[in-house]
Structure 1
Amino acid sequence: MTNDQFKSGFAAMIGRPNVGKSTLLNHVLGQKVAIMSDKPQTTRNKIQAVYNQSDAQVVFIDTPGIHKPKHKLGSFMTNIAQKTLDEVDIVLFMVDADKGYGKGDQYIMEQLEKCHTPVFLVINKIDKVHPDQLLPFIESYREKYDFTEVIPISALNGNNVNTLLEQILLYMEEGPQFYPADQITDHPERFIISELVREKVLHLTEDEVPHSVAAQVEHIEYKEEKDTVYVAAAIIVERSSQKGIIIGKQGKMLRNIGTQARGDIEALLGSKVYLDLWVKVRENWRNREGRLRDFGFVEEDY
Structure 2
Amino acid sequence: MENTTTKPSYKAGFLGLIGQPNAGKSSLLNFLVKEKVSIVTNKPQTTRRRITGLHSAKTGQIVFIDAPGLVKSTSGLNTFLEKEAHDVIRSSDALVAVLSVDEDSAERNEEILTLVTKSKKPWIAVITKVDLKDTSHRVMILKGIVEKFGGKSIAVSNTKFKDDERSEILAKLIQILPDAERPLYDPELYTTENVRGLTEEIIREKCFEVLNHEIPYQLAVQIRKFDEEAKPCPKIYADIMVSRDSHKPIVVGKGASVIKEIGQQSRKEIEAMMGEKVYLELNVTVKENWFENKQTLKELKYVVDSE
TM-score by length of 1: 0.91
* CA positional deviation for 1:35: 0.6
Equivalent position of 2:131 in the other structure: 127
Match of 1:88 in 2: 92
Q: Deviations over 1:152-205 (max 9, x none)?
A: 112432142321111011222331311112222222211110000000000111
Q: Is 1:243 aligned to 2:248, yes or no?
A: yes
Change (3 A) 1:45 1:5: same
Q: 104-113 or 90-99, which moves further after superposition?
A: 104-113
Gaps of 5+ in 2: 1-6
Counterpart position of 2:4: none
Is residue 35 of structure 2 the alignment partner of residue 31 of structure 1? yes
Is 1:158 the counterpart of 2:161 in the alignment?
yes
Deviations 1:231-288 (A, max 9, x none): 1111011011111111000100000000001111111111101110010101111111
**1:11-52 superposed Cα distances (whole Å, 9 cap, x missing partner):** 100100001111111112222111111111000001111112
Residue 213 of structure 2 is aligned with which of 207, 216, 226?
Answer: 207
Q: CA deviation at 1:225?
A: 4.0
Q: SS of the counterpart of 1:272?
A: coil
Structure 1 residues 28-107: aligned runs within 5 Å: 28-69=32-73, 71-107=75-111
TM (normalized to structure 2)?
A: 0.90
Q: How far apart are the structure 1 equivalents of 2:265 and 2:18?
A: 29
One-letter amino acid matched to 2:124: F
Unpaired segments of 5 or more residues in structure 1?
Answer: none
- C-alpha offsets along residues 100-120 of structure 1, whole Å, 9 cap, x if unaligned? 443433433443342111121
Corresponding residue SS for 1:64 = coil
Per-residue deviation, 1:76: 0.9
Aligned residues with identical type, % of pairs = 29
Name the CA distance, whole Å, in 2 between partners of 1:76 and 1:289: 11
Q: How big is each residue's C-alpha offset from its partner over 1:51-83, in whole Å with a ceiling of 9 and x where there is no partner?
A: 122442100000000022274211111111112
Mapped partners of 2:45, 2:74: distance in 1: 12
Aligned to 1:186: 192
AA paired with 2:185? Y
Aligned residues: 297
CA distance in 1, matches of 2:300, 2:47: 14
Q: CA RMSD in A?
A: 2.2
Q: 1:11 aligns with which of 9, 15, 20?
A: 15
